[in-house]
Structures are given as C-alpha cells and as structure tokens.
C-alpha cells in the first residue's frame, strides 16, 4: 500500500496493534480467514480501538465509526457484526462475484486490489477469502481493520498502483463523478481492470454516460447479475485501462457528425412528430405535451456531472420553470441548476427573489450585439402598459428599422448574446442538459447556429416552440401575420434535429 506512514507513527501503531492483538486474539481467526497469513499491509491488522456502532439496514449490515471515544467493546462488536447473517450473506455475494471475475482473468491471487467507497468492507474481506491477500478498502469513514479512511477524490496512492479496482453504487451517488472516475483511473495500472456494480447503466444512454467518465478505459463488458438481495438485479461493468495512456480529465472532442447508438435508441422511442399542420394549433400543440416521452422516463440519467435546465425565453418564473419544469419534468431525484434567459425587463425583478435560478437578462442570439427589439402584441389586442407588464408583450429581433409604423415606444434596445458559444462555455457533454426554447421565430437563426458550432450536441433534450403562420383562434381561415415561416418549415427544423440525434419535442 502506498499509505505514507512516518516511521515513528508506524512504530506507535505497531505498539498499539500488539496491545490490541493480545486483547483480540480470540477473534483473530476472522482476520486471517482465507488471508493465509499473506496480509502484510496495515490493512490486515487491527488498529487503535474505536467505538463502533452498528445498524442493520435491509440485509446489508453497515458500521459507523466514531473516532475518539475508545471503547473496549469494539472487538466484541466487530465479532458480532462479522458473525451476523447479513454480513456473511453480503460477503458471500461478493466472494461469488469475485470468483467469477477471477475465473475470467480480471483478478488473480497476485492482484493488488482496491475497493473504493467500501462501507464496512464486505468486498475487501471477500477478496481476501477468495485468495487475493493484497486487498484494501478506502472510504470516507474508517471501518477498521478492512477499510481505511481517505478522501476519495485524492486517494493516498501513487499513479498506477492497482491491478483491480472495485466500486459498488458509488459513482452515480457521488457529487463529483468526473473527479472520482479520474482518481480511480489514475491509481489503476495500465491494462488494469475496473469492476463497477451499479443499479444504473441498464440502458445504452446511461452506460454511455458511465463510459464517458473513463476516457482512458475501454469497455470489456456490461451485463446483468443477481444483486445481493433476493430478486434484485445489478449491472456489472468491466473496464480496462488502456496501455500507456495519460488520463485525460478534460472533455473529449465530441463526435457530433455521427449519431451515436445510445441516442438513436432514445429517438426510436420518442413520440412521433405531428406531421399534419394542426387546424387548431392552440389545442393540438398544447395537448401534445401529454404525449411527450421525457428522456428521464426512457433512460437512467445517473453518471452525469451536473444537471442543467436552460429556459430560453423564460418569461415569468411561473410560465414554464415553476409550472412545468419544477413540477412535471422527471428529474430522477437530481437537483438541476436553472438558467432563465429573458431579455424583457418586465420579468427581471421577479427572478431576483428566486433562489437557485440564474437569470441572464439578455436575448439569445447568434452573436454578441445590441439589438433593437420590437415588443409585439396579438394583432387584435390593445397595446397598453398593463399587458406589457403581464408579459403579453414579446420580443423578437427587428433589424432596427421602424417596423410597420409601430410607435417608437415599442422599440427596445436589448443586449443579444451568442447563445451557442455561451452554451459551449457553460456546459459539457458530461452534463445533462435540458433546454426549453420559445424565442419568437429566432429559432430559425439559433438552431442553425447551434449546428454550425457543434453546441447542438451538448443538448440532451430540447423542448422547442416553433413559430409559424399558424391558423388563428380569433379569426377562422386567417393565418397569423406575425410569422413568415410555415408549418412545413417547422417540421423540417424538428426533423433535422431528430435526424442529428437531438431528442426534440414540439412545445406550444
Ligand atoms: C499521475 O497522474 C496524473 C493524472 O493523469 C498526472 O496529472 C500526474 O502528473 C501523474 N503523476 C506522476 C507522478 O506521474
Ligand atoms: C427519490 O427519492 C425518494 C425519497 O428519497 C425515493 O423514495 C425515490 O425512490 C427516489 N426516486 C428515484 C427515481 O430515485
Ligand atoms: C458574449 O456575451 C456573453 C454573455 O454576456 C459573454 O459571456 C461572452 O464572453 C461574450 N463573448 C464575446 C466574444 O464577447
């Protein structure tokens, strides 16, 4: 082990250990089972007495260690734990899993093995029992003698220390999965193996997210195994570190031109696009939200670095963030960072009071420039200040000239920014990114810009309102004069997005 112990400290530890061993002899058989006396590292010895508290959750016993309060009862408690049925069952589960891996050549008696985040050390004991003596565990909390404590993101091991690293249900629960994966890769020898047990990664999308965390490794196999509890299933994923690669913790250049398989699978399950132009779009499109197949309802979104929701053309907080995203979007218990992009000043004050929402008080555009926007209104609506304040007024770029004889009061100067570039600075493909876009026709400028810059690949799921010369509710047989584009052009936009692997939904 690379645990740096200064000679003096090591001596003291040894002295303590001797004392403890005298006390512990009756239970010593536990430590040596299967270890064959091969435990040379400090991990195999008892260290200073700890006060241990035990609890049993489900069938998996775990142990909590409280430092300081030395208690003579700890070896007894340890024996109680280690002789409990739950402990035994869990160790047996891992023994059997590791034996299979050993038979397949991923593990051998000579392997230097590490279990990361290994609770009270079932996995470590299992490794020793099947004849891998050089096995250790590291966890945030100590559980001696099998597991030492350490910062999982800065493990006390040199590069290329281990032949085999194991973790179970850890990476997907980590607040920093990218850093954790990089640290696991770092301590692994080139051509060493990582075995991951997880309840996630059961679909192609989730497996892809996991693999993206290990850019220096290749997938050997992923398959389902029986979990430790009756009728539970786990995924067992084996990765191998590529020979001689330095770990690239950065973002790999994203392959955007080919639609990857995990995205294709999602797209084949998505709701179909509405092919026929709706005669009553105000009903059809609004109803369509019920048909939407949300990405998190089709795939596991674990293994992502951050979870980000960007509302482009957010308007008031309640119009979609509060009423839809917060309440209806399935989040798999993840906390999303929220960005509201809204240029209309009428809405800005409200966002100042909203915690956890980042307001960008600009208009999403294709470059950074000051734009003159036209606040426009429903044609049959009287222009008045009140409706502006309530958000009936909407903004769209208007080349800056005086349009259709509108009053100059309706022309506002607004800062437009390059949304595609901003997206590339703000998120990466390791993040889970949901975008809602309702930008009054500017989608016909911004979507091509997203393609041109490659930023489109950063979006996992897009809810897009496409603005066209729709049939109007007020006036049968009349199309809206507000927009020039046709439904066919909208359909082309949606189709091109889906063909490029973007899960886009028709928003109203
Ligand atoms: C260990 O690996 C990390 C990550 O790949 C690298 O940045 C660092 O330079 C390496 N350290 C040594 C001593 O080789
Ligand atoms: C979310 O958390 C709740 C309570 O912690 C839990 O009951 C539920 O199963 C979790 N849902 C998912 C999808 O993980
Ligand atoms: C454009 O504006 C955005 C948002 O204000 C800013 O982050 C970015 O640095 C600007 N880019 C350029 C090239 O000025």
CA 418 to ligand 3: nearest atom? 1
The ligand 2 atom nearest the CA atom of 330: 13
Is residue 352 domain-shared with residue 468, that is, in the same domain? yes
Domain for residue 23, yes or no? yes
Ligand 3 neighbourhood includes 368 CB (under 6 angstroms): yes
Helix (H), strand (E) at residue 504: strand 503-506
Does residue 296 lie in a domain region? yes
Q: How far is CA 197 from the centre of its chain?
A: 17
Do 218 and 356 lie in one domain? The reply is no
Q: For residues 182 and 214, what is the distance between their CA atoms, to the nearest angstrom?
A: 7
Q: Please report whether residue 116 resides in a domain.
A: yes
Test site for ligand 1: of 159, 190, 215, most ligand atoms within 8 A of the Cβ: 159
Cα angle 295, 306, 463 (rounded to 5 degrees) comes to: 35
What pLDDT score was predicted for residue 179? 94
Among protein residues, the one with the nearest Cα to ligand 1's atom 12 is 159
Q: What is the DSSP string of 152-208?
A: TTS-SS-TT-EEEEEEES-GGG-S-HHHHHHHHHHHEEEEEEEEEEES---SHHHHH
pLDDT, block means (10 residues), the chain with 508 residues: 45 46 38 33 32 32 34 61 84 95 96 91 94 94 84 94 95 92 96 95 92 94 90 93 66 64 91 93 88 95 95 94 95 96 92 92 92 58 36 45 48 86 95 95 94 93 95 90 93 94 93
Q: What is the pLDDT of residue 120?
A: 82
Note down the domain range covering 330: 261-506
Cβ(164) – ligand 3 distance below 6 Å: no
Contact by Cβ (8 Å): 147, 121: yes
Q: Which of 246, 249, 250 has most ligand 1 atoms within 8 Å of CB, for mutation?
A: 246
In a domain, 256, yes or no: no
Q: Identify the CA nearest to 145 among candidates 78, 91, 57.
A: 78
**358 with 425, same domain?**
yes
| All residues at 6 or more sequence positions from 356 whose CB lies less than 8 Å from its CB, including other chains | 337, 338
Distance 346 CA to ligand 3 centre (A): 23
Residue 284's Cβ-side half-sphere holds a number of Cα atoms within 13 Å equal to: 14
Q: Are 150 and 267 in the same domain?
A: no
Sign of CA dihedral 13, 14, 18, 24: positive
Same domain, 268 and 217: no
> Half-sphere exposure of 414 toward its Cβ, with a 13 Å CA cutoff?
28
247 ligand 1 Cβ < 6 A: yes
- Distance in Å, CA 333 to ligand 2 centroid: 6
Whether residue 354 lies inside any domain: the answer is yes
Q: Which two tokens stand for residue 335?
A: 């906390």
3-state secondary structure of 77: helix
Choosing from 172, 299, 331, 333 the residue with most ligand 2 atoms within 8 A of its CB, the one to mutate for a pocket test is 333
Domain count, the chain: 2
Q: Is the CB of 246 under 6 A from ligand 1?
A: yes
Q: Which of 434, 425, 491, 484 is nearest to 459 (CA)?
A: 434
Pick the atom of ligand 1 nearest to 247's CA. 5
Same domain as 343, residue 234: no
- State the pLDDT at residue 76: 73
Q: Check residue 274 and give its pLDDT.
A: 94
Whether residues 224 and 76 fall in one domain:
yes
Predicted local distance difference test score (pLDDT) of residue 425: 96
Residue 246 lies in a domain: no
Domain co-membership, 186 together with 332 = no
Alpha-carbon gap, residue 117 to 170, rounded angstroms: 7
Q: Does 235 share its domain with 282?
A: no
From 63, 275, 29, select the one nearest 149 (Cα to Cα): 63
CATH number of the domain residue 120 falls in: 3.40.50.150
Same domain, 361 and 452: yes
Residue 87 lies inside a defined structural domain of this protein: yes
Residue 252 lies in a domain: no
The answer to whether the predicted template modeling score (pTM) of the entire model surpasses 0.85 is no
How many Cβ atoms from other residues are within 10 Å of residue 12's Cβ?
Answer: 13
What separation in Å is there between the alpha carbon of 114 and the centre of ligand 1?
Answer: 19
- Do residues 280 and 204 share a domain? no
Question: Under 8 Å CB-to-CB from 233, ≥6 apart: which residues?
Answer: 199, 202, 224, 225, 226, 227
Ligand 2: which atom is nearest the Cα of residue 333? 1
* Last residue within a domain, chosen from 191, 212, 241: 241
Closest ligand 1 atom to Cα of 159: 1
Give the residue from 209, 241, 273 where a domain finishes.
Answer: 241
**CA distances in angstroms from 423 to 150, 301, 443, listed in the order given:** 36, 20, 15
* 224 and 172, same domain (yes or no): yes
Quote the strand ranges of 20-108, DSSP E.
51-57, 60-66
- Ligand number nearest to the C-alpha of 244: 1
């Amino acid at each position: 082990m690379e645990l740096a112990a200064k000679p003096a400290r090591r001596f003291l530890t040894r002295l303590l250990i001797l004392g403890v061993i005298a006390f512990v002899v009756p239970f010593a058989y536990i430590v040596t089972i299967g270890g064959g006396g091969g435990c040379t590292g400090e991990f195999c010895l008892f260290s200073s007495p700890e006060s241990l508290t035990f609890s049993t959750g489900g069938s998996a016993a775990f142990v909590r260690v409280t430092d300081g309060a030395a208690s003579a009862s700890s070896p007894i408690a340890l024996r109680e734990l280690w002789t409990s049925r739950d402990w035994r069952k869990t160790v047996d589960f891992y023994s059997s899993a590791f034996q299979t891996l050993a038979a397949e050549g991923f593990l051998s008696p000579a392997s230097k093995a590490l279990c990361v985040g290994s609770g009270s050390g079932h996995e470590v004991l299992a490794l020793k029992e099947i004849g891998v003596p050089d096995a250790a565990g590291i966890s945030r909390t100590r559980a001696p003698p099998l597991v030492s404590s350490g910062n999982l993101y800065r493990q006390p091991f040199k590069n290329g220390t281990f032949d085999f690293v194991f973790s179970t249900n850890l990476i997907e629960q980590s607040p920093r999965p990218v850093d954790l994966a990089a640290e696991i890769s770092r301590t692994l020898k080139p051509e060493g193996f990582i075995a991951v047990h997880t309840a996630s990664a059961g679909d192609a999308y989730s497996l892809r997210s996991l693999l993206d965390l290990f850019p220096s490794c290749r997938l050997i196999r992923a398959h389902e195994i029986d979990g430790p509890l009756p009728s539970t299933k786990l995924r067992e994923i084996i990765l191998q570190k590529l020979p001689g690669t330095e770990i690239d913790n950065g973002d790999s250049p994203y392959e955007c031109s080919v639609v990857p398989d995990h995205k294709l699978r999602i797209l084949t399950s998505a709701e179909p696009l509405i092919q026929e132009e709706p005669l009553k779009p105000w009903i059809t499109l609004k109803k369509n939200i019920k048909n939407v197949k949300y990405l998190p309802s089709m795939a596991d979104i674990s293994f992502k670095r951050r979870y980000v929701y960007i509302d482009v053309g957010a308007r008031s907080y309640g119009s979609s963030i509060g009423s839809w995203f917060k309440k209806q979007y399935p989040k798999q218990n993840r906390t999303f960072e929220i960005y509201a992009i809204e240029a209309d000043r009428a809405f800005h004050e409200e966002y100042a009071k909203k915690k956890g929402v980042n307001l960008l008080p600009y208009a999403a555009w294709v470059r950074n420039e000051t734009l003159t926007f036209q606040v426009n209104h429903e044609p049959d609506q009287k222009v008045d200040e009140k409706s502006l304040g309530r958000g009936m007024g909407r903004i769209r770029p208007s080349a800056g000239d005086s349009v259709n004889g509108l009053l100059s009061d309706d022309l506002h100067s607004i800062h437009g920014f390059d949304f595609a570039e901003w997206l590339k600075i703000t998120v990466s493909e390791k993040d889970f990114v949901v975008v809602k876009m309702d930008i009054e026709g500017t989608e016909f400028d911004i979507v091509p810009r997203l393609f041109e810059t490659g930023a489109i690949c950063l979006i996992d799921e897009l809810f897009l309102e496409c603005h066209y010369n729709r049939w109007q509710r007020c006036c049968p047989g009349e199309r809206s004069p507000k927009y020039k584009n046709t439904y066919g052009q909208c359909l082309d936009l949606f189709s091109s997005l889906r063909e490029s692997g973007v899960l886009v939904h028709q928003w109203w």
